[in-house]
Amino acid sequence: MAAAVCNVEAVFTEASFKQRRTIMIDIGKRLHKILSGLNPSFTMTDCGGEGEGGVTVQIRNEPYEPFLDVEWIEDLMGEK
């Protein structure tokens, strides 16, 4: 994504920060969709006991979630 930020800034030199951020958010959404399709997330469920009093634990692995995080994208853009 850092490379994408550099490329977007190089190609869209006249664009405002908001316009470049919108482009980066769109790139992030597309990356998330593509990579999630190639390597889907998973949910693991473990029931800690039978009957009442058991605890159910769910662990979700979403490795591509940061691509949807606007604050993370803004932080990347701010580093330039």
Closest CA to 30 of 71, 1, 8, 72: 1
Q: Do residues 67 and 32 make contact, with C-beta atoms less than 8 angstroms apart? A: yes
pLDDT digits 0-9 by tens, 5-43: 999 999 999 999 999 999 999 999 999 999 988 887 777
Question: What 3-state DSSP class applies to 44?
Answer: strand
Provide the pLDDT for residue 63.
87
Per-residue pLDDT at 79 exceeds 90: no
Q: Is the pLDDT of residue 52 over 80?
A: no
Distance of CA 54 to the CA centre of its chain: 33
**pTM of the shown model:** 0.73
pLDDT level of residue 50 (50, 70, 90 thresholds)? low
- What does the longest C-alpha to C-alpha distance in the chain come to? 63
